[in-house]
Chain A
């Protein structure tokens, strides 16, 4: 059917879920505000956030290293601070790939700006974690109403601010 009722959960969904469930709910309903970070023109932003394209890109971005014993999923982040959200996103890619029959060894998040990497284990526990997160995303999307807004201070930099806070 339509993109919204297709319950495929991609990397963006996981990222939004962990940032703000409300954001995930709105995103899943097809409301995708233009990214207001300056240089990105509207048309381009629109292209890049289109669901299917984005999913391809996300899987594509999680570059994979192949060694004989298993695949290593690499993800590069432009952020300076490692965060549990990034690990969860990588675990989600591992889950999607494992379901496709890929034998996953582990994941690595790269932070080139601070020359750091974070190892993400892939074992039964990690898989259960990833499945739990995926289910949480599905639950948020299936709800009739969006989650309440976060405390304002946590909305900084979110492109949904005009939507969430724009009513007087």
Chain B
């Protein structure tokens, strides 16, 4: 997206108030920040926010989503304006496409296969060659989403183990845990994955698609928008695994960036700032796009991914999930 509007990351508890056509963000012990409403694409809140009706109506009028993360980096929910872009025709096609078992499973398989390939790319190792081969062999036999998720789970377990060999002991995952994440590494992954999901949700909101009608994840996944979850999958390793490896190698993260308890961990205030900063820089970094013939940021790649589904729905073109080409 090339509009002037930006994503604002709220890493501290704050109060959001309206002031004419700006919002004023008040943080404890600091001078408030004012942002013109037209400069905002969306808000990501890592910590408690306090809003009132007049802010909500201003955000709604300008179609701005507020993504809310809970203390452990899980998606807690969002304030989502009414659907300004939706179109009955596109929606009808989306429902048709995703309820066609064959189309749905094909897309779901492609998402799983691509995500696994992207994990290997992110970890940049041949230790995952064998698990990837097994996944590729098993996929055609999977007859439904549950079977697919099972195959993906097997691959993922191998990938966490490989990732652990690249991390200092205190940052290791020792198996993936969520709600709450059991240790620092898991907390990091949870936060980053949630942000990637939130980016995809925002991208989908710029299309006529409905973010809750998808391919792979179960429709019954409460509170979650399955299409956004599906499309976020191939991007997650690009951010979560890759940034965790990088943060370990460059020693960007320290134990003090986390608040760890016996069986639960979350980012500290300083840690949230660091992660927001890493993500912001990563989303803004660019690669050359051969067919658009220009540089595109990772954020735009997420946006282009959403457009692929618009194309699938409107024109019936096949969907090829995102793979890094550089």
B87 and A43: CB pair below 8 A?
no
**Once the chains are docked, how many angstroms separate the CA of A165 from the CA of B292?**
6
Interface size, chain A (Cβ < 8 Å): 31
CB pair B5 A168 closer than 8 Å: no
Which of chain B's residues 17-52 have a Cβ closer than 8 Å to chain A? Answer: 37-39, 41
Chain B facing A: main interface SS:
loop
Query: Across the A-B interface, how many residue pairs have beta carbons closer than 8 Å?
Result: 97
Answer yes or no: A77 CB below 8 A from chain B CBs. Answer: no
Establish whether residues A167 and B291, one from each chain, have CB atoms under 8 Å apart when the complex forms. yes
Please state if B206 and A163 are interface contacts (CB–CB under 8 Å): no
Q: From residue B199, how far is it (CB to closest CB) to chain A in Å?
A: 15
Nearest CB on A from B89, distance (A): 5
Cβ-based interface call for A151 (8 A):
no
Interface band, chain B:
35 or more
Q: Are B3 and A36 in contact (CB under 8 A)?
A: yes
Contact B291 A41 (CB under 8 A): no
User: How far, in Å, is B294 (CB) from chain A's closest CB?
Assistant: 9
Is B315 interfacial (CB-CB < 8 Å)? yes
| Residue pair A41, B85 in contact (C-beta under 8 Å) | no
A114 at the binding interface (Cβ < 8 Å): no
Cβ-defined contact, B38 with A162, below 8 A = no
Answer whether residue A158 sits at the interface, using C-beta atoms and an 8 A cutoff: no
- B90 / chain A contacts, CB cutoff of 8 Å: 29-31
Question: Do residues B63 and A163 form an inter-chain contact, with CB atoms below 8 A?
Answer: no
Interface residues of A (CB under 8 A from B): 2-5, 26, 29-34, 36, 38-46, 50, 145-146, 161-163, 165-168
Question: 8 A-B pairs, CB-CB below 8 angstroms?
Answer: A2-B89, A26-B314, A31-B208, A38-B4, A42-B3, A42-B62, A50-B84, A166-B307
The 5 nearest A-B residue pairs measured at CB: A30-B87, A41-B38, A43-B62, A2-B88, A36-B2
